[in-house]
């Protein structure tokens, strides 16, 4: 394709999110990228190339293929899969052969918090990967300002005092090498940092507030002051939280949580798209159902659907659930099936869902997550699956279930309020 034809083709590229693929004269893939706006992004390569590598890439481009998708999340997932499949030359070159950074918390009695490029020691705890290195470094500087954990590599044992480093004298380290802090107190600091990077900082803040209130009631005002300072620190850090960026959260869950969840559940493929379902009613009145969609581990609001139950008049959650599944897979679009179905409920709900899917000749794995007990029932495993309470896979499933519950309940309350007005 000559340059004139290439220019015409660029003009016809849509403004939607998606993935673009640059090819050479022999139709070999040179580069795969994602964009919020395909037209603007592709055009930018031919108007203002940024460096010699991109200039070299542009010179080799003979054809362009674009794949529009519904959202940025889908674009990120598709880009990732295409890069893994084709290993384009320029996707490596343009990243300068660097791997994504991780936050490492060492497995020592007095752990260090470091930025690393590789996961070497399985005993250490890693958080990431992060795509925005600058933001990560800024966050760590902020953390160390309020949580003065050590950064040195010397071996530290409580009760054995050694010569402190410059960080201690500049108040950037709490001085475990001097015996200034116990392992228990140091662990509390590390727990706060772990909660922050795992996205559980709000739960951790809630725990700290309870501890603070208990300290106040016990007239332990010194402890209450310390706890209150930690709460304020976490609340200040929230605005610097990397997970506030949806792309970061999507990348993190796509690379880490979803593959792990797939293995845990015994799935044949990564559950990139998960649909959550729930029923809401009071004594059978104004019964509603919901479908929520999570792509890449984050909500995809365009896929949400609400159902007013039509065929079930009595208190029969099982039949209501079957109606919702039937309508979803017959009335709505079938061009995209989920990789996993999640039901708010237990064994009974899962059994009914599988019966309905079987009657519709639909082969999609399904699980149910029961409230309170937080036990996972799977169609692929006769035994219930129990994940640790701090498991990020469990947190994701809980998020989907709770979102389905919220969506169904909000529609139910809306119908009731309309009835009261009438």
Instruction: Give dist(CA 31, CA 39) in Å, integer.
Output: 16
pLDDT single digits (tens) 361-406: 889 999 999 887 889 999 988 889 998 887 888 888 998 998 999 8
CATH superfamily of 249-421: UvrC, RNAse H endonuclease domain (3.30.420.340)
Helix residue spans in 272-346 (DSSP H):
317-331
pLDDT single digits (tens) 202-257: 666 777 788 888 988 889 888 888 788 777 776 766 655 555 455 556 666 666 68
Q: Average model confidence (pLDDT) for the chain? A: 79
- Please report the sign of the dihedral spanned by the C-alpha atoms of residue 175, residue 181, residue 186, residue 189: negative
Q: Are 30 and 55 in contact (CB under 8 A)?
A: no
Class of domain 3-93: alpha beta
- Write the CB contacts of 309 (distance below 8 Å, at least 6 apart in sequence): 279, 281, 287, 288, 289, 320, 323, 324
Domain ranges of the chain: 3-93, 102-242, 249-421
pLDDT category at 420 given cuts 50, 70, 90 is: low
**Above 50 in pLDDT, residue 168?**
yes
Instruction: Please identify which residue in the block is written with the tokens 């673009």.
Output: 20
Q: What is the pLDDT of residue 350?
A: 92
pLDDT single digits (tens) 54-103: 677 888 888 999 888 776 766 776 777 677 677 888 876 444 445 667 88
- Write the CB contacts of 111 (distance below 8 Å, at least 6 apart in sequence): 105, 149, 186, 190
pLDDT single digits (tens) 243-295: 545 555 666 666 668 888 888 898 888 888 999 999 988 776 788 999 999 98
Q: What is the pLDDT of residue 291?
A: 93
The predicted model scores a pTM of 0.56
How many CA atoms lie less than 13 Å away from 350 in the CB half-sphere? 22
Q: What is the pLDDT of residue 247?
A: 58
Instruction: Give dist(CA 222, CA 229) in Å, integer.
Output: 11
Q: Is the peptide bond before 129 cis (omega within 30 degrees of 0)?
A: yes
Distances (CA, A) of 381 to 257, 367, 384, 385: 20, 10, 7, 8
């Amino acid at each position: 394709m000559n340059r004139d034809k290439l220019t015409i083709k660029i003009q016809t590229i849509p403004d939607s999110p998606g993935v673009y693929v640059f090819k050479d004269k022999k139709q070999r893939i040179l580069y795969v990228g994602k964009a919020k706006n395909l037209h603007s992004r592709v055009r930018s390569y031919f108007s203002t190339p940024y460096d010699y590598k991109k200039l070299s890439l542009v010179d080799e481009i003979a054809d362009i293929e674009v794949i529009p998708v519904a959202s940025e999340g889908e674009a990120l997932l598709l880009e990732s899969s295409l890069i893994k499949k084709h290993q384009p030359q320029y996707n490596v070159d343009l990243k300068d052969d660097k791997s994504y950074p991780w936050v490492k918390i060492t497995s020592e009695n007095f752990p260090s918090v470091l930025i690393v490029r590789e996961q070497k020691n399985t005993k250490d705890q890693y958080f990431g990967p992060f795509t925005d290195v600058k933001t990560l470094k800024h966050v760590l500087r902020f953390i160390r300002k309020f949580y003065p954990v050590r950064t040195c590599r010397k071996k530290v044992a409580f009760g054995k005092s050694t010569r402190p480093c410059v960080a201690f004298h500049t108040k950037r380290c709490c001085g475990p090498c001097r015996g200034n802090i116990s392992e228990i107190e140091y662990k509390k600091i590390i727990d706060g940092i772990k909660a922050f990077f795992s996205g559980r900082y709000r739960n951790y803040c809630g725990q700290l507030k309870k501890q603070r209130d208990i300290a106040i009631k016990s007239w332990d005002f010194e402890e209450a002051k310390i706890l209150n300072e930690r709460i304020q620190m976490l609340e200040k850090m929230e605005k610097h939280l990397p997970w506030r960026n949806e792309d970061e959260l999507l990348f993190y869950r796509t690379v880490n949580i979803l593959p792990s969840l797939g293995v845990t559940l015994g799935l044949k493929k990564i559950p990139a798209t998960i649909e959550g379902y729930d029923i809401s009613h009071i004594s059978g009145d104004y019964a509603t159902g919901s479908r929520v969609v999570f792509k890449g581990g984050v909500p995809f609001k365009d896929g949400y659907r609400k159902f007013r139950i039509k065929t079930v008049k009595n208190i029969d959650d099982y039949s209501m659930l079957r109606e919702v599944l039937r309508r979803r897979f017959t009335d709505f679009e079938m061009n995209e099936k989920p990789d996993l179905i999640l039901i708010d409920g237990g064994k009974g709900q899962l059994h009914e869902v599988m019966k309905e899917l079987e009657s519709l000749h639909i082969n999609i794995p399904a699980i149910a997550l029961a409230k309170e007990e937080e036990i996972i029932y799977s169609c692929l495993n006769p035994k219930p699956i129990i994940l640790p309470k701090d498991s990020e896979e469990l947190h994701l499933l809980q998020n989907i279930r709770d979102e389905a519950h919220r969506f169904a309940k909000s529609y139910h309350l809306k119908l009731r309020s309309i009835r009261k007005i009438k």
